[in-house]
Amino acid sequence: MPERTTDMTDTAATYHPRNIGKKIALIFAACSGTCGFLTIGATLWAWTTYGKHVITASLGATTFFFVTATIVLYEMSRPRPVIQPDSPQ
């Protein structure tokens, strides 16, 4: 029986190109990441200014939301790998 070899390289030929929905998700992931970066700065500023205050907690929750939304949107935008059909035996 011939051995089946698999090439594990990440080249453009092994992935489908991103469609319009995946490109939009990637754009929103970048926007959400930017908002997460800005809110973490605001959270640290509020923490040093106000201490343990409701505003600081709210900014922390907002930062958590933006960071997790970035992760989810990025994973949604990843291109699908091309699945090679099995060779007949």
- pLDDT for the residue numbered 62: 95
- Determine the pLDDT at residue 17: 80
Res 7: pLDDT: 52
Could you write out the DSSP letters of every residue in the chain?
-PPPP------GGGBPPP-HHHHHHHHHHHHHHHHHHHHHHHHHHHHHHH-S-HHHHHHHHHHHHHHHHHHHHHHHHSPPBPPPPPPP-
For residue 89, what pLDDT is reported? 63
Query: What are the pLDDT digits (tens) for 28-75?
Result: 999 999 999 999 999 999 999 888 889 899 999 999 999 999 999 999
Residue 59, beta-bridge partner list: none
Residue 44: the pLDDT is 93
If pLDDT is split at 50, 70 and 90, which confidence band does 14 have? confident
